[in-house]
Structure 1
Amino acid sequence: MAAPSPYLDLPLFPLGTVLYPGGQLPLRIFERRYLDMVSECARTGSPFGVCLILKGQEAGEPATPAAVGTLARIVDFHNREDGLLGILTEGGARFRVARTRVRSDGLVRGDVETWPDEPAQEVPVEFALLPSILERLIENLAPHWKHAPRRLYEDAGWVGFRLAELLPLDAEEHQRLLELTDPLRRLAELRDILPRFQRG
């Protein structure tokens, strides 16, 4: 009997943004290929993959996705004022794309291998300022995290992913922070980036 494949066959949604594990991403769905994808995921309860676009655009011709992305599960639907379908997604595990193929309708599908979750690690004392900076950012930019349990602010992975998604970084920096597998290294990079945003 053949060994089970280590890969998951997944529809991919190349976007101009990065989704981090545990993060929320609202999306506006209007192209037929993505309406069909959302319908299938809603029916089966399965995720799709969000990958940063390396080449191309979100709409039109199939874009080239980054090799590392994040599983996205649909947690809410709504009809937008512009008449389009709106969905809210939540980030799950990260994955690496082994190969992609484009269906006749333009939807990109990938064989992906999911990454294990990062081990929980406490925020070390040298990064003690980062949780309080995150708290201020959440107050102003991310009301959905306002009631997050205090224990999450002690988790290096959670603090790093939330800071990464809230800071106005460029796409390549977002992708690099997503691809790091050590939460403490991610915090170190964020600490080094932060002076760029301090008011003079």
Structure 2
Amino acid sequence: MKSGMKLPSVTFHTRVRDESVGGPNPFRWEDKTTEDYFAGKRVILFSLPGAFTPTCSTYQLPGFEKGYGEFQDLGIDEIYCMSVNDSFVMNKWAEAQELKNVKVIPDGSGEFTRRMGMLVRKDNLGFGLRSWRYAAVINDGMIEAWFEEPGLSDNHPEDPYGVSSPETVKTYLTETSKEAAA
């Protein structure tokens, strides 16, 4: 569906650890752009409804984290997890998940998600505006492959999961690496 599309140019407001700040919360604001994350690299981006939610915390994020080495072997430079959550929430979730490999991107205002056509209402769960679940292989800022869960809609009664799983993305990467080798 979105394969071949260029990612929208957006600025993300992030908090990064900086020991020179001192105190109990040694972080500073740092704006990063779409280009900072995606230019000149082949990456996996996956987006989900919310940090600390069950499917995201139990299956999707841990699967990408554990499979990081295999994804690198298949030509991936980085793996990014995005959610319509602010940087404070995303950083705390990364800490709670003990992430070493997957990097989080806070889309606090939902601007990137909206421009990707993936912003949905989840008022039925008390979430407000959030991302529909998807994954993508991004090559130098262009979508190489797109994995979107079925049923994209506001206030969907379920949270489908499978199409955007680490296993599905790994299958795609394995098949394309075999084709490239042939």
Q: Which TM-score bucket, shorter chain as reference?
A: under 0.3
State TM-score, norm by structure 2: 0.25
Bigger Rg, which one: 1
Higher relative contact order (CA 8 A, sep 6+): 2
State TM-score, norm by structure 1: 0.24
